[in-house]
């Protein structure tokens, strides 16, 4: 089963690397997806490659989708192809995970109104203004949404996402 992991410039490498290997260790296949199929630079300068462009992937090909944080979500939300993929994964009720600033992508995709979630404290107002029920907790699972606040929450976030993927498949 393939699990998509979104990537864009200035991603938080911890929020990409940790889930990438945890997904792989769980027997799932990570598929790195960007607006384009190319290399992207992390906040630290480290490079990671998206092996697929968002327009090439259908939600039906994925068992779930992870969105790392950093500054990348502000760039990801500008891609209609990325937003279409997020909407399709959500519409299929497949696990959709966002951490830190990745809530911005969920806002732009229009999938959070009336739903309970968390994210980095600096986007709290954005989430609330978009209609979310924001809570400051390490992990919030609300239907198919799996959200966390930041790098300190990575272990519980990824564990909950992998459990959601394996239970739904």
Active site residues: 101
- Is 154 in contact with 18 (CB distance < 8 Å)? yes
First CA to last CA across the chain, in angstroms? Answer: 9
In sequence order, the 6+-apart residues with CB closer than 8 A to the CB of 113 are 130, 131, 132
- CA 74, distance to chain mean position in Å, is 13
Number of Cβ within a 10 Å radius of residue 81: 17
> Could you tell me which of 38, 37, 48, 53 has the C-alpha nearest to residue 10?
48
């Amino acid at each position: 089963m393939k699990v998509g992991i979104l990537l864009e410039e200035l991603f938080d490498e911890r929020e990409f690397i940790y889930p990438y290997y945890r997904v792989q260790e769980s027997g799932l296949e990570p598929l790195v997806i960007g607006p384009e199929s190319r290399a992207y630079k992390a906040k630290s300068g480290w490079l990671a490659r998206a092996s697929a462009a968002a327009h090439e992937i259908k939600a039906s090909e994925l068992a779930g989708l992870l969105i790392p944080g950093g500054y990348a979500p502000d760039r990801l939300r500008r891609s209609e192809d990325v937003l279409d993929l997020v909407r399709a994964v959500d519409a299929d009720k497949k696990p959709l995970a966002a951490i830190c600033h990745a809530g911005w992508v969920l806002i732009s995709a229009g999938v959070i109104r009336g739903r309970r979630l968390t994210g980095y404290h600096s986007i709290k107002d954005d989430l609330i203004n978009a209609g979310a029920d924001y809570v400051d907790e390490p992990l919030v699972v609300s239907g198919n949404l799996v959200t966390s606040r930041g790098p300190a929450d990575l272990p519980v976030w990824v564990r909950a996402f992998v459990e959601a993927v394996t239970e739904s498949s």
